[in-house]
Amino acid sequence: MDTVNILGVKIAAVDIMQAADRIMQMTEEEGVHSVYTPNSEIVLNAYKDNDFCKLLNRADLLVADGIGVVYASKFVKKPLKSRAAGFDIAMELLPRLAKQKKKLFLFGSKPGIAEKAAEIFCQRNPGLVIAGCRNGYFSPDENDEIVAEINASGADVVFVCLGAPAQEKWIDKNKDALNVKVLMGIGGSLDAVTGNMPRAPKWWQDHGVEWLYRLIKQPKRFFRMLALPKFAVTVFANGRKFPQD
Ligand code: UDP
**Helix-strand-coil split of the chain, %, nearest 5:** 55, 15, 35
Query: What pLDDT score does 224 carry?
Result: 85
Residues in contact with ligand 1 by the CB-under-6-Å rule are 108-110, 136-137, 161-164, 187-188, 190-191
Amino acid found at 69: V
Q: State the distance from the centre of ligand 1 to the C-alpha of 76, rounded, in angstroms.
A: 31
Q: State the distance from the centre of ligand 1 to the C-alpha of 200, rounded, in angstroms.
A: 17
Ligand 1 atom 1: the closest Cα is on which residue? 162
Query: What pLDDT score does 197 carry?
Result: 85
Question: What's the CA angle centered on 196, arms 194 and 201, to 5 degrees?
Answer: 80
Q: pLDDT tens digits for the chain (245 residues)?
A: 899 999 999 999 999 999 999 999 999 999 999 999 999 999 999 999 999 999 999 999 999 999 999 999 999 999 999 999 999 999 999 999 999 999 999 999 999 999 999 999 999 999 999 999 999 999 999 999 999 999 999 999 999 999 999 999 999 999 999 999 999 999 999 999 999 888 999 999 999 999 999 999 999 888 888 999 999 999 999 999 999 98
Strand bridging mode 61-62 / 33-36: parallel
The number of the ligand 1 atom at minimal distance from the alpha carbon of 41 is 23
Ligand 1 atom 16: the closest Cα is on which residue? 163
What angle separates helix 166-174 from helix 50-57, to the nearest 10 degrees? Answer: 60
152 burial via Cβ count (<10 Å: 0-12, 13-18, 19+): exposed
The number of the ligand 1 atom at minimal distance from the alpha carbon of 135 is 7
**Per-domain residue ranges for the chain?**
3-200+207-231
